[in-house]
Amino acid sequence: MAATGPDVDRLFLVGMIEHRRGAIAMAEEVAGGRKAEVIALDQSIRESQSAEITEMDQLLSDLGG
């Protein structure tokens, strides 16, 4: 709670990356054998969360972390 400046950004990004990884893991655990709409949503979640992780990793890199 005492973080300031770039440290706040870094903590936010690290936490959000972990959150996204959790969403991907959940989607992977339930993959297969369901309604087409659910399969499409599963794929969409994995793709979008992966893209967001890539973007946040770049932001972290830009912060030097």
Rg (CA), the chain: 15
How high is the pLDDT of residue 65? 61
The residue among 29 and 49 whose pLDDT is bigger is 49
How high is the pLDDT of residue 33? 66
How high is the pLDDT of residue 30? 76
Q: Give the separation between CA 24 and CA 31, rounded to whole angstroms.
A: 11
How high is the pLDDT of residue 28? 83
Is the pTM for the entire model greater than 0.95? no
pLDDT 10s digits, 6-40:
899 999 999 999 999 999 998 888 777 678 888 88
* Residue reference for tokens 């903590």: 11
> What are the residue ranges spanned by the domains of the chain?
6-63
